[in-house]
Structures are given as C-alpha cells and as structure tokens.
Amino acid sequence: MTARPPLAEAAWLKHGAVTRLLAVLDRDGEEARAVGGAVRNALLHLPVGEIDVATTALPQEVTRRVAAAGWKAAPTGIAHGTVTVVIDSQPFEVTTLRQDVETFGRKARVKFGRDWLADAQRRDFTINALSASPAGEVFDYVGGLDDIAARRVRFIGDPGQRIAEDYLRILRFFRFHAHFAAGAPDAAGLAACIRARAALALLSRERVRMELVKLVVAPQAASTLWVMVETGILGMVLGGVPYVASFERLAEREAALGLEPDPVRRLGALGVMVREDAERLAGRLRLFNAEAERLFALDGWWRVAPSASEQPAHALLYQLGPQSFVDRVLLAWSREPADAADNDWRALATLPQRWTAPIFPLKAADFTRRGVPKGPALGAALRAAEAAWIAVDFPMAGNAVEGIADRAARGVEMGT
C-alpha cells in the first residue's frame, strides 16, 4: 500500500456535508474514507462532483448512526452494502467494505469485511480505487497514483477477468481514457477489450447509452473514437458506419463558437447521415424522446448552407427551433470544406443569438370573418397564409399581414 501526504487543496473533503458525514462514520472503532471518482478528480485537479464514501461499518450501523445524526438514510443497494445518505439535500452513497465472492455480470455475491486492500482490488481501474481519509491522506493499494501521474487508465489485476465481471467495463475503459488519459490506451487493457468485444451485445441499451453520451463529450473523445473504430468496437456499438472525421470537425466548431460539448449533437455527427441512421440509433441506444427528436431533425443537413439572403435561414430556424437549428447547421458545417473560422458559417450558426422567430400573427378568426368556413377550408387557409408569411420573411406590420390573410382567403375560395 502506498500513502501520500494529505491533499494540499481538499475543501470538498474538509468542509460541508461530507465532513459531517465522515465525522459520524469515522469513529468508535469504525473507519470511513472518501473513495473513487472524487479522489481521482482531486488528484487530477478536476472538479469534484459526487462524493462516495466507503466504511468498515455494516449497513445497519451506518443507518443507525445516520438516523441518530438526524439525516435521512435509504437502503438503495443494501444487498451490496450501499446506503444513500441525504444531508442538506445532498446525497452520498455509503458502502461497506466488501469482496465480490462470486460475480454474475453486474450482479455479485458479496462478503462484507474490514479490509481496504480487498475492497480496492474488486474495483475496475486503478485510478478509481484510491481513497482519502477525513484528513486528506490518500491511500493507494493498486498503483493508482502512478497511473494518475502517467495519465493512464489501467485495469486492476487481470483485464480479462475484470471485463468478464461486467462487460460494460469495455466501454468504461474507453470512456475513462477519453476523460482522464493521455497518449495511447493501455495495451493490455485494449487487447482484453478487443477479445471480449462480442459480449457488448449482451449489455442493455440503457447502459450503453449512458456510457456513450459521457464518452462523446470527453476532452480526448475524438482520438479515443478513432481507436474504437480501428478495433471494430465502435461499429458494433453504433450498428452502422461511424463518421469520426465529422465528429471531430463538429467538436472543433463547437469550441470555436464557445459552445459546451453537446452529447446528442455529437452523437448525430458520429452516427447520422440519413434519417434511417437516426432511427437506428434512437432504438439501439433507447434514447429519450427529446434526444431522438433532435437526431431526427438532422435529416436534410445537406441542404443547409450560408446564403446572401437570411430568409432561408430564418425559415429553417422558425421550423426547427433554436436548438435543432444549431444542431443541423453545425452538422452541415462539419461536412463542408469550410474551416472553423469561416465567417459565413459562423454567422449562420449564431443566427439564434441575433434573431428570434416571431409568432404567426394570424388566427382562425381572421379567416372566418373573411368568409372562410370552418373545417378543411379553414385549415388550408391558415397553412397557405403561414407559408406566404414565411416566404416574405415574417412581416409583422398590419398592412402586410392583412394582405397575406386576404390573398390566402381568396385562394381557398377560388380553390373550392
């Protein structure tokens, strides 16, 4: 075991709700530490998000102490020793030290214990097996500190065995590499992922989606995706042709515009050429309805280009709304020769910042008072008027709008 001096900057550990939680659990013969991602991120000087806690105390003792402190405890994973503690609306997963006696995919038969080494050895990657005492002293049982220094993602123990315990670790290997590593992936880990890649078909669509949407927004996403293409893994995940060059160019354009990496937009650049691709991805990854609709809205990207007139862009923005408009423009831009500094494309992509689509000013009553009867004729008049209003670039002046209504009403009358 390697220990290092206390974390120089650990406000996340030494102040706030987690400090109070550790004070309750780390006493009276029991020990408690922060574990996993929070420690890893602190050592990499990255933001610390969720904080997980490991303890020698059994779940019943954790629950007793938490209740005595006046906090809420929920047995969210009691079979595996996990209790979720809520302090001031902030949740913490508190898990008793354990060993996985027997694994069945994600499921395992566990034995609780007090051995920090055994608990660390059951985890997936060395950088995720670090723990920190309430005072900030970091404990390393599996070489995680060296891998942090080398910016390397490495399985604990035999990579093939770790993967066989949960095949999602194939995707997690690439996801963590994209977020935290530098250079080529660990050779032993990569070889094990390739050998086991057929088992990706056994994973639930929801779990694959969860990993993929996290991977595509990572700092090293593009280089990692190229490796996944070369090893045949990405095509298996997407079920189609990956367009990593388009993905890479779209990410460059997001950065040039100061946009946050968007997982759905990037997924579209990676996997959507035609609507059928969007439909396949929506089903294969079981995307949320809003995510699927954004992918469907990418269809027709090849018709998007800067124009001397802003009317076509106004019309598209009116049709799609700001988010899907930017999605489609960035996708089209990523598949054009123009670079990320092109002023015409930049102006098109930033149109929603300068122009807000107005609300169609005509209502059904505007046509019934012009003698258009209710029913199909009324719907036809409204549609014709809206199309004419869009075609002349959304006028709002009374005379222009009234003229559009008059012509639409006459057109319906002549048509009947």
pLDDT at position 77: 86
Query: What is the Cα 51 distance to its own chain's centre?
Result: 19
6-63: pLDDT as tens digits: 676 678 888 889 999 999 999 999 999 999 999 999 999 999 989 999 999 999 999 9
| The token pair that represents 37 in the structure block | 């991602």
336-385: pLDDT as tens digits: 999 999 999 999 999 999 999 999 999 999 999 999 999 999 999 999 99
Dihedral Cα 255, 260, 261, 262, nearest 10 deg: -130
Sign of CA dihedral 212, 213, 218, 223: positive
pLDDT at position 79: 85
Instruction: Give the C-alpha separation, 187 to 192, whole Å.
Output: 9
pTM (two decimals): 0.90
pLDDT beyond 80 at 414: no
Q: What is the mean pLDDT of the chain?
A: 94
| The token pair that represents 359 in the structure block | 């609300």
Write phi, then psi, for 270 (nearest 5 degrees): -75, -35
271, with CB counted inside 10 A (0-12, 13-18, 19+), is buried
Instruction: Give the C-alpha separation, 124 to 361, whole Å.
Output: 59
- Please name the residues in contact with 229: beta carbons below 8 A apart, sequence gap of 6 or more: 235, 242, 244
pLDDT at position 108: 56
388-397: pLDDT as tens digits: 999 999 999 9
Residues forming a β-bridge with 84: 74, 93
326 pLDDT tier (thresholds 50, 70, 90): very high
Instruction: Give the C-alpha separation, 364 to 1, whole Å.
Output: 76
Q: Are 98 and 80 in contact (CB under 8 A)?
A: yes
Instruction: Give the C-alpha separation, 327 to 138, whole Å.
Output: 43
pLDDT beyond 80 at 325: yes
Reduced to 3 states (helix: H, G, I; strand: E, B; else coil), residue 284 is helix
pLDDT beyond 80 at 328: yes
- The secondary structure of residue 343, as a DSSP letter, is H
What is the CATH code of the structural domain delimited by 1-150?
A: 3.30.460.10
Tokens 């949320």 belong to residue: 288
- The secondary structure of residue 106, as a DSSP letter, is T
Average pLDDT rounded to a whole number, residues 166-175: 98
Backbone angle region of 261, left / alpha / beta, with phi > 0 → left and psi within -120 to 50 → alpha: beta
Instruction: Single out the residue of 331, 388, 334, 328 nearest to residue 361, CA to CA.
Output: 388
Q: What is the DSSP string of 111-135?
A: EE-S-HHHHHHTSSBGGGS-EE-TT
Q: Are 124 and 172 in contact (CB under 8 A)?
A: yes
- The secondary structure of residue 86, as a DSSP letter, is E
pLDDT at position 83: 96
Instruction: Give the C-alpha separation, 262 to 254, whole Å.
Output: 9
Give the chain's radius of gyration (CA, Å).
Answer: 28
Give domain limits for the chain: 1-150, 305-354, 364-415
Instruction: Give the C-alpha separation, 95 to 58, whole Å.
Output: 8
Instruction: Give the C-alpha separation, 101 to 108, whole Å.
Output: 7
185-218: pLDDT as tens digits: 999 999 999 999 999 999 999 999 999 999 999 9
Reduced to 3 states (helix: H, G, I; strand: E, B; else coil), residue 31 is coil
Residue ranges with strand state E in 67-174? 72-77, 82-87, 90-96, 98-104, 107-112, 131-132, 138-140
Taking the CA of residue 35 as centre, how many other CA atoms within 13 Å lie in the half-sphere pointing to its CB? Answer: 25
Average pLDDT rounded to a whole number, residues 156-176: 97
Query: What is the Cα 232 distance to its own chain's centre?
Result: 22
